Structure formats: C-alpha cells, structure tokens
Structure 1
Amino acid sequence: MPLSVKEWTAQVIKQDEIDRYLKNGRDFIDEEEIKSLLQNNRKSDKTRVRDILAKSLAIERLGPEETAVLLNVRDDDLWEEMYETGLKVKQKVYDNRIVFFAPLYCSNYCVNSCLYCGFRAENSHEKRRRLTMEEVKQETEVMVTEGHKRMMIVYGEHPLSDVNYMCDTIRAAYEVKKPAPRGTGFGQIRRINVNAAPMSIADLHKLWEVGIGTYQVFQETYHKPSYASLHPAGTLKGNYRWRLYALHRAMDAGIDDVAMGALFGLYDWRFEVMGLLQHTIDLENHFGIGPHTISFPRMTPASGSDFSANSSYLVDDSSFKKLVTVLRLAVPYTGLIVTAREAPGIKKEVIKVGCTQTDASTRIGIGGYTETLKALQEREDYPYEQDQDIQQFTLGETRRLDAVMREFAEMGMISSFCTAGYRCGRTGDKIMGLLKSCKEGKFCKLNAVLTFREYLDDFASPATKKVGEKVIAKEMEEIRNEPFFKKGTLLATFEEMLRRTEAGERDVYI
C-alpha cells in the first residue's frame, strides 16, 4: 500500500547520513569565519589582487581569504582586469565553447513551503500536475526536434515524484529518437542530468544505476538564519544539513559528477560566494574532487510569493557580473552555468567572463514544451506568454535554441552538445585532472566541432548555418595549427570523424 504524504515525508531524512560527514559535530559552514574574512580583507592593494589572479591563471583553486580579497575589490579598473582574467581562465580550461542543454520539469507537486517558490505546498494558485511517461516522451520529442541532446530533468519533492518515478521518467526520455527536420540525422537525448531534492544514499544509487550524468542540488542560501526563516521547521527542506550534505551522499552512492548552486537574492551575495567555495573545499577534502558545475541563479518573481520580488538582497546586474567573475577565478577548473532566468543582455555579459553552459528554448511549466513549441517549430521568433501558475519562477530568456546559438556564433563562440566525457569515462577525478591540466578542453574542442556540425546540418536555420560555417572554419584552422593535435594520430582520427559526420553519420565522438 502506498505511503501517505505524511508517512513518506517522515522516512526521507536519515540522520546517520548527515552525522557521518560532520567534524566534531559541526558542519563546514562557519558563518563567523566567513564574515571575518570578508571584513578583514576589505582593503587590498593591486599587487595582492594581481598575485591572486596569477594563481587563477595557473588553474589553482583559491583559498577563502584570497576569494574574500577579490570580493572586496572596489577599483573599477581592477574589476576590468578581473573580467579579462576570468575569460582567459575559461578559454585556457574549456576553450572557446558554450555547452547547451534544456530542462524538463516533470512534476510541480511539493511537500515544502519555501517562501520564494511557486511550487510550495501552500500556493493555491499553482496548478498541480505530474507528467505521465507518454507525456515525458512527448516533451522530449519537442526538445530533440529543437536540436537538444542534453537534458536537465527537474522534480518537486513529493511522494508522487519519488526516486522510482524519477527513474521511470529518465528511461522514458532516453527512449525517444526522432528524425531531424533537416539533413539525414536524428534527434535524441544523449545525457540526462538530474536536479532533484536531497535523497538517501540508497535512492541516489538508483539514479546512478539508471544512467544519469550529473546530480544537482542547490543549497539555496548558506546563511543559516536566512535558511531557517525561508524554509519552515518541520518540512524536509527545513533541515539545513540534510541538504548541505546531499552531494556528499551522491558521491558515496557512485555519482561522481555533482553540481551545486545558490539562489542569489536570499542573502548577501558575497557571503553566498564564500559558502559555495567552502562547499567545494569540503567535497575536495572528502572525495578528492569538487563540483562538476556551479550555478548562480538570481531569484525572479514566482506565483503567489511577495518575497521573491521584494527581498532586500536582490542582486543587480553589476553585482551579478562580479559574483560570476569571482566564482570563475576562485574555482578555475569547474564549469559555470548561467540559466534562462537571465535576460539575453546580461547573459552575454557573464558568458564573456567565463561561463561554460547555458540553457535555451527553455520551458519550465509542466508540459510546457508540447503546449508552446510543438505547433511553432517552423517559426524562428514567436510570442511566449509565461503562465506563472504552472511554473516555479519567471524566465528572462525565452528565445528558441537556434536564435541563441546564432547570437553566440556571431560572438565567435562555438556551441557544443558534447556528451563524450560521460561515455568515455572522463568523469569524476578523471575529468577533474584533465581540466586542471587544461587537456580536457582540447578534446572538448574537437567534440564541439562534431556536434556543432551535426546541428548545422540537421536543425539550423539558413541564417544560423551561414554564420555557423564561419565558426567551424575558424575552429578547424585553430585545430590544424595547434601542436597538441598534431601528436600521434589524434588529428587524423578527428578529421576522419568529421568526414563521417559530414556524410551523415551521427554521434561520433572522441
């Protein structure tokens, strides 16, 4: 007999799976230490800052004090140097590419009461819905017809979307394969990452077994008093430490790529950056590797939530660009995700300081892809009215994938749908070592060309294909002139793979 919501909620948290990670009964977020570091490093000379930038360029993680120094910079000229260094770090580790994905929201049922979220249990305006397996496939079909190959699948925390439902939806999404609208290729999701609530090690192992890529959990805020006021006691999310150690449990469950983030706007942004760094350091101390990616969404208005639009900690565009830059410099080898919460203008700005991933053609209403995109697949631009009563928050970027990719191509960047690392075993400590040594970006450059070639032939509009061809030509010139690729048979192997891709073969990777 299925458990009631109350019974299910009561058995989720396993206290022993918190205690095992504590040090002398304490967790790794020391608020007084963070505040002291921020206060005591308010004045640093340019030489000190530039020494720290040199460490970032050497692809070494910064310490808390060094990060506090950067967060306190007030000199505009020095910030310009930091922006430039952030981009240099990104290019050194990840090359000239941006990876695309799309989120799929499967259920908005939730047992929690977060004051800033449209999904919270008390929100009577929210229209509750859970996708069936057939609906998951329909949504996935629309996503792959757009050209997507990477998915972030998202769930509310509720027994109707427990780990067994998650596994079923992941299997359903992986089953979809559709002919491409152009060329001879096909659309298919090659890698599914999961954004879901904290789980036990046993449940997380089920996700690992079904073949997920990265497991993502956002702490929301690392500031404990703010966390307590925003997440009522007695709810699952009200347990700060259960959430804080979610990624530790995932690593112990066998998931070696994990992703963290904070929701900026809940507390002071400088404190949150320090919290993300402390989280990274604790993962490295326990497992030898930190997060695969870090996200930094800003809070946007949500249905039925006055707080989401009126918090005293909302982050303006100038501060947002600064916090992204410091994250790029503090953890130089970790991917940074800027999401469709951000409007196109500010998204371009933060990509210029070191972001590596973004989403596009995003729909966060349950069933949103089928309802708003399927009938409009032949239109390049279209009106999109966001229904706040079926989604968690509002979006700033609603353009289709093709339009966003064309914009990046005009900026000289190559779009990538590469999933080779997951399938070649370059995950966890293996990929982290390759990133720190700046070798993984070389392989990613080759795979970016292959997947971009696929997109141009199978999905791109004529305008996007025209500018995309110029990007391919530039990337090929760089590849053929780069000494790294001339070693052994790597260049010859890649050239042959490119010829096969141009001839219609798909999903070829190095």
Structure 2
Amino acid sequence: MTQINYFKEEFGDDYRTEVCDYITDAKVESILAAAKEPKPAEVKRIIDKALELNGISPVEAATLLQVESKELIAEFLEAARKVKEEIYGKRLVIFAPLYFANQCINDCLYCGFRKDNHQIDRKKLSQAEIRKEVAALEKEGHKRLLVLTGEAPNTDLDYVVESIKTAYDVQTENGGEIRRINAEIAPLGTEDFKKLKESEIGTYTCFQETYNRKQYAKLHPSGPKSNYEWRLSVMDRAQEAGIDDVGIGALFGLYDYKFDVIGMLLHAEYLDKKWGVGPHTVSVPRLNPAMGTPLDEVPYPVSDADFRKLVAVLRLAIPYTGMILSTRETTEMRNELFEHGVSQISAGSRTTPGGYEKKDNDQEELAQFSLHDLRPIDEIITGIAKEGYIPSFCTACYRLGRTGKDFMDLAKPGKIQEFCRPNAMLTFKEYLEDYGTETSRKYGKKCLKEMMEKLEKDNPKLAASIATKLAAIAEGEHDLYL
C-alpha cells in the first residue's frame, strides 16, 4: 500500500487525534485578539519570565508579537540572545539537505515540485546517484543530512528506506561518513513510521506550512497533502511508532506570520502535554519564489523586522527547541539571526536532485525554490567562526540515546550545553583537520582557543579531557564525542 492512499484506506476518519481540536482557527485568533495593545509593564514581565528559561505561554508570545516599540523589541531580541546562549552556547549545528526526487502528485501552489508544474524537469535519483551525492557531501565535510522527496508512487517508503541505507553506507577518504540522517517526507501511518524508525533516522520533520485551515485549503487544492488534519496529526503517529524526536515548521509568508507562530506554539504545547516531549526542532523558512507556480507574489510578506521578531519570540517561548534556518535567507540575515535564536543551519545547500555531485549552484529547472546563501560550506564555516560561533557536526545525542524525553530533561534546564559545547569543539576540530582551508583553519584555531579558555574556567576537568581528545584528532583519530 502506498503512502498516498494510506490514510484513506487504512484509517478512514480514525486518524484524527486531539491535536485537531487543540489547534483551531478560532482559538489562534482569540489568543491574538486578547493580546492586542500590550502594556509596556506586561511586556517587561514576560521578558523577565522568559529569562528564567522556562518558556512563555502562547498568550504571552502573542503579546510580544504585537509589540511595535523599537525599544521593547530590542529588549526581547537581547533576551532571546541570552536564552539561546544559556541553553545551547555559541554554537551552530551544520547540516545539508539531500533531495532524492522532485516528483510529486500534490499541487501546492507555492512549490516548484507541484504536480501541474510543467516547466521543471522531473528527476528521481538512483541508488548509484545517491551514492555520488553523498560522497560529494562527505568530501565537503558534512556528517548530518536531512533527506527529502516529493510525494509520488515511485518514491514511496520502501524507496526512502533503501535510499537512507545507501547514504549511511557511503564512506570516503579522511573519515568521510554520514553519522546522522533526519527525514522530511510525507506523513505516514503508524506501521510505516515503525519501518522508518528501523532505518535509524534521527528526527522526523513535517511542516504544517500554515496553521490556518482556510488558507491551507486554498494553497493545497489537490493531492493527499490537501488533507489538513492528516498532516496535523502526523506527530502522534510518529510518537506511537517510537520516533520521539520530531520537528515542526511553518512556511512564513503563506499566511499572517503572527497566526502561524501561535499555531506552531500551540502545536509544541500539545506535543509536550500529550507525549512529554516538545518538538526537537522548529523550522522558520520564509517563502521564496519558485519557477512554474501560480503565486506571482508572496501572499503575506514577512519583513526583515518582523522576521527577527518572530525568531526571537519562538526562542523565548520554547527555549529547549533547536531552531533551523535555511539558505533561503541572505548571508547578512542568517548572521544576524544566529544571535536571536537560530541554532541549526543548512550549508552549501542544493534543492535539486543531483545538485551536489554536479556542483551546480542551483538548477532552476529541477529546483523546489530559489536560494540566497549559495556560499560553499568552508566559506560559511569561516564566517561563523569569525562571528565567534563554533560550527558543530555533532551527532552524539542520537547515537547515545539522548533523544525524546532524555534530551528534553537536559535541554529544558540548560544542561545540554555541557555536551553540546565540547562535542561541537571535537567535531569542528575534525572538520578543520580533514577539510579545512588555510582561511577556515586560521579562524577555526582562534575560535577553538577561545572556547577552550572558557571551558577551562567553567570546568577544568572536562577541559583537560577535551584537550586530550583534540590532540588525538590532530593525530588522525575520528569520531570522538561525549
């Protein structure tokens, strides 16, 4: 049975879970309406609460979203910086998206992969082509992948699972290997999620795109993705199957950004209440144009100022959650948002099946959407190090079982940094030794020195252990972690 008809044939209407009643248009609108014209004293109270690292409620987040005062906005942007550094430290996780195919039977009006787009060439990677793509990524230093594909009969779960296995099996020189693969594929039933879990994925991600039901229906006129509630209830099925690290997201620009921020926070709140585990990640892409789509302009444009605001509000509301920013944004905007809450970024990305091995900047005739940050990964890494952040290729939590509730027990009180910072140092050192250029090594060495000096002050015993491991990596050892 294909995933396309799975929910119709297997469940009828029984796939509907409590989340479908927990997040409604009326509920989101009432939260936003109640938060209009916030008083400065209330805003400051919410900021002070957020600094305690316990998060803020959707209602309190709505209050911050309504703030127009530049002074107050500056205050909660600064608070978001402090919260992010307290939880995760000055480190950024690096990954690359890998598209297996651009074939799709959905007709999402904003997506280049849409069924009725006849301006793009369709491509499904063979296993041999996947090996070439993964080898190209490994030779750039990547250790973490996010795999994606359109929803089509010939890119079903069996193909995805086989492709994940192929990607894990690829090894190249200098210790080149993929150590963790996350998956962003169409919603599945519980039994199929069990099969996906057996492929040893890390996080399962699925964007709701927009949480507004009416707008969702307009933008998804046909195909299985048109079923809003099948998509919204997907994380319950993933959790039932034992996938306890899940990622949610919205595509900002499809609807009013304030509505979708509150929808996302209600989703996170629901998951935490139902499963004891909030989302491992939230993604915050802004809508970019795609060739062959009927949207001539972004329906609800999100300004840079509003984008900064929503990133900061999400960081304050769900401080334990990793926040992902893609290469849809410019270099300048990405650098700025590192401070306000972003903790994971894609680097050297291609949205085309086969784009890495061919080393094309982007092939518009195959792409899902346009990109802005097309810098090579080493240039991105150099820029991160210059800004005082440490690039991380760490996969230790997944491999040591620090997932789901175990991860949250460390992340919520800020203890996860005890692992994140040293593991980031070790994986960055490995990258510099195996793939770094003269420039990235220069700035990387300076960055590692500063991190080591701070670690020596905070935890001398741990610093001594990390110094030993760094020396071992310099001598050719690989894959050392806590």
Same fold, judged at TM 0.5 (above):
yes
Aligned to 1:189: 178
The alpha-carbon deviation at position 18 of structure 1 amounts to: 6.4
Q: CA shift at 1:347, angstroms?
A: 1.0
Matching of residue 248 in structure 1 with residue 236 in structure 2: yes
Mean CA deviation greater in 349-358 or 218-227: 349-358
1:14 shift after superposition: 6.0
Identity value in percent? 41
Structure 1: unaligned runs, 5 residues or longer: 180-184, 374-383
**8 A Cα contact 1:17 1:200, kept in partner:** no
> Equivalents in 2 of 1:187, 1:138: separation in Å?
13
> How far did residue 281 of structure 1 move?
0.9
1:507 aligned partner, one-letter code: D
Tell whether 2:471 aligns with 1:499.
yes
In structure 2, relative to structure 1, the CA distance for the partners of 1:153 and 1:162 (3 Å cut) is same
In the TM superposition, what is the alpha-carbon distance from 1:296 to its structure 2 partner? 1.1
- Counterpart of 1:349? 336
How far does residue 493 in structure 1 lie from its aligned partner after superposition? 3.2
Partner of 2:377: 401
Alignment correspondent of 1:198: 187
CA distance in 2, matches of 1:137, 1:55: 49
Q: Find the counterpart in structure 1 of residue 300 from structure 2.
A: 313
1:10 aligns with 2:9: no
Q: Which of 425, 434, 437 in structure 2 is aligned with 1:449?
A: 425
TM-score by length of 1: 0.92
Once residues 109 and 45 of structure 1 are traced to their aligned partners in structure 2, the CA distance between those partners, rounded to angstroms, is: 50
Task: Check conservation: 1:220, 1:262, Cα contact below 8 A.
Answer: yes
The answer on whether the counterparts of 2:107 and 2:220 sit within 8 Å (CA) in structure 1 is: yes
- What one-letter code is carried by the residue in structure 1 that aligns with 2:321? T
- Please state if 1:117 is matched with 2:126: no
Offset, 1:428: 0.4
- The partner residue of 2:443 within 422, 446, 467 is 467
Q: Give the Å deviation of 1:59.
A: 1.5
Point out the more displaced range, 193-202 or 27-36.
27-36
SS at match of 2:357: helix
- What TM-score does the superposition give when structure 2 sets the normalisation length? 0.97
Does residue 388 of structure 2 align to residue 412 of structure 1?
yes
Residue 13 of structure 1: CA displacement?
A: 4.0
Q: What is residue 379 of structure 1 aligned with on the other side?
A: none
> Which SS does the other structure have where 1:394 is aligned?
coil
Q: CA deviation at 1:442?
A: 1.5
For 2:95, give the aligned amino acid. F
Following superposition, the deviation at residue 501 of structure 1 comes to 1.4
8 Å Cα contact 1:102/1:148 also seen in 2: yes
Distance in 1 of aligned mates of 2:264 and 2:479: 35
Q: Find the aligned partners of 2:9 and 2:310 in 1 and give their Cα distance.
A: 34
Query: Quick one: distance in 2 between partners of 1:242 and 1:75?
Result: 40
Q: For 1:217, what is the secondary structure of its paired residue?
A: strand
SS in 1 for 2:201: coil
Q: Distance in 1 between matches of 2:129 and 2:146?
A: 16
State how far apart, in whole Å, the 2-side matches of 1:450 and 1:97 are: 12
Is the 1:141–1:176 Cα contact (8 Å) retained in structure 2?
yes
Per-residue CA distance 1:199-246 (angstroms, 9 max, x = gap): 11111111100100000000000000000111115x201100000011
Over 3 Å counting, the alpha-carbon distance change for 1:505 and 1:14 in structure 2 is farther
SS in 1 for 2:139: helix
Letter in 1 for 2:319: P
Q: Distance in 2 between matches of 1:75 and 1:15?
A: 52
Alpha-carbon distance in 1 for matches of 2:186, 2:48:
38
Q: Is the 8 A contact 1:13 1:236 kept in 2?
A: no
Superposed CA deviations along residues 29-64 of structure 1, whole A, max 9, x for unmatched, are: 122222122122112222211221222221212212
Q: Out of 150, 156, 172, which is 2:150 matched to?
A: 156
**Count of aligned pairs between the two proteins:** 482
Distance 2:457 2:267 in 1: 40
Preserved contact between residue 13 and residue 200 of structure 1 (Cα < 8 Å) = no
Distance 1:69 1:30 in 2: 19
1:425 aligns with 2:412: no
Question: Which amino acid is 1:242 matched to?
Answer: W
